[in-house]
Structure 1
């Protein structure tokens, strides 16, 4: 992709971009656009709602449920098809779902707030299953001509991936379970680390120094929140950190003083998929067939306003 951008657009920093990719240990990721022109839409059938609807449909098949069995549909994304109507409305169209739905405009910790809402819905008498989907098509928010003008865009070029992941939660009694979920923030009165401003609405701006400095704080905030729920890092079999880079597992292991093999990472192959990252990582873990009763701790985080969230997954 770096060579393609250098050939089709003005990118004198292609060696720098390649070096950034190696430093982030991101080797491959999927993109919904061909990068033939600077501003383009997704390939046919690969828009954000297309990805999200396909992910929900796959989760329903795995659960043995039909679309009509869903009591609520929750989406979270930072790269919607358009500002209004919400992205999740188009997802509902593609699924043929006529029930209630809502959307969170939140990136890497949208999964945590979605769980808070789902838990409340599922606690009601007669509750039906709740589907949650996180989806991103961030490559559409990248102008390849900006890579030379703004060095930080080289990071976006090699780091971000497109995709969607979904989960279906039932009111109880299933073989697998999610518990001890939380959402928190340490960004009060702090400048944003990641934003898409009104002046540049289709461009993500990163304050990389601020993001880097916050990493250890978010690790500790997540560990502390888990401990408040009675979960210690030594008491779980696997830890899934937010998939910001292919090195995040080793970095988290070094920070916590734990073996690197305890951490599950797919960002080296998928890149940072934002809202989709945690659900994709959990789906990959489930496909690997962990032992029944094994416990996985999810430690999500994001740099927009330094939020964190997580939960414990027990495999059934």
Structure 2
């Protein structure tokens, strides 16, 4: 038998959606006992978008997925991967419903749970499906509604907004613009308590007669800050090495939008000019698994991502989980 070349994964479409309701720092300040400017200085955030009652992560995913599909020109997409830590239901997964609502009944559909690193993990899953020949094209969506999971009286609630972003990957040749590089992924379950929602799982339910666990997301901010910088830096270096790029050859860093100070320190650690680190955290906050694809869409539309740009993607999230990959930005179709 002749060896067949492993298909590459080519990014051919991107889209995003954030709910219309904007929450400014002024709306949070009195409840949190902080000034609007203090919130901005600590986080880099001035606004975040939050869902209205009755709107789910799946609703946001459908809107973003539809936009990415409309720009992709990929034809029939055969798989849907949804990265989320706020699924519509504990069971079943959100992806089959999203696929059905997008007219893709019968497609491969699965959820990925790696919190804020979920989208990069989703890219790795999609890349594997394409390389194996299981799918010719994959819609990868990051979607989260963490405004529904945070304690409104906890200062960390100021960080989170809601939204969804999506990309379409298709099978192709490795020399094409948009080719996804090696997905460098990692985890450390010993840090699971640093970003966690304790309530609602089998750990709680297995303790018959015990008190209900905390239903809110809890975040150990100081420790998470340093772990995020450390692991995104190491994963980014590995992804750059795999692409045979020197750090200074990366035109843009698109990192998970957790905190403006993390983004600055990451660029400095990598030796990449800080003005190459794209950011929209000021306007949307931390949207967890959705943050990278939302930023990709916003930057492409604003002209901050141009065809030929060498782009580094990297993220860190609960688990602990982290990841990074690379691509050369392609020329994408505009919305129909």
- Same fold by TM-score, threshold 0.5 exceeded? yes
Q: 1:3 to 1:216 in 2, by over 3 A?
A: closer
Per the alignment, residue 19 of structure 1 pairs with 38
Instruction: Give the 3-state SS of the residue equivalent to 2:183 in structure 1.
Output: strand
Query: Once the two structures are superposed, what CA deviation does each residue of 1:12-63 show, in whole Å capped at 9, x if it has no partner?
Result: x332576233321101111103xxxxxxx44xxx321110011111011001
Instruction: Give the 3-state SS of the residue equivalent to 2:115 in structure 1.
Output: coil
Per the alignment, residue 231 of structure 1 pairs with 245
Which of 208, 219, 222 aligns to 1:206? It is: 219
| TM-score for the superposition, normalised by structure 1 | 0.83
Q: Is the 8 A contact 2:190 2:320 kept in 1?
A: no
2: distance between equivalents of 1:101 and 1:169? 15
1:161 aligns with 2:161: yes
1: distance between equivalents of 2:271 and 2:133? 44
1: distance between equivalents of 2:92 and 2:133? 30
2: distance between equivalents of 1:305 and 1:129? 28
Deviation at 1:172, TM superposition (A): 0.8
2: distance between equivalents of 1:257 and 1:310? 16
Per the alignment, residue 129 of structure 1 pairs with 137
Instruction: Give the 3-state SS of the residue equivalent to 1:179 in structure 2.
Output: coil
Deviation at 1:80, TM superposition (A): 1.2
Instruction: Give the 3-state SS of the residue equivalent to 1:132 in structure 2.
Output: strand
Which of 39, 44, 52 aligns to 2:61? It is: 52
Per the alignment, residue 61 of structure 1 pairs with 70
Structure 1 stretches of 5 or more lacking a match?
34-40, 148-152
Deviation at 1:175, TM superposition (A): 4.3
Structure 2 stretches of 5 or more lacking a match?
1-22, 200-211, 331-336
Per the alignment, residue 219 of structure 1 pairs with 232
Instruction: Give the 3-state SS of the residue equivalent to 1:231 in structure 2.
Output: coil
Q: Post-superposition, which runs of at least 4 consecutive aligned residues in structure 1 deviate over 4 A?
A: 1-7
Which of 25, 43, 49 aligns to 1:30? It is: 49
| TM-score for the superposition, normalised by structure 2 | 0.78
Instruction: Give the 3-state SS of the residue equivalent to 1:108 in structure 2.
Output: helix
Matches within 5 A, 1:78-117: 78-98=85-105, 99-117=107-125
1:299 aligns with 2:308: no
Deviation at 1:285, TM superposition (A): 2.6
Q: Which has the higher strand share?
A: 2
Q: 1:14 to 1:221 in 2, by over 3 A?
A: same
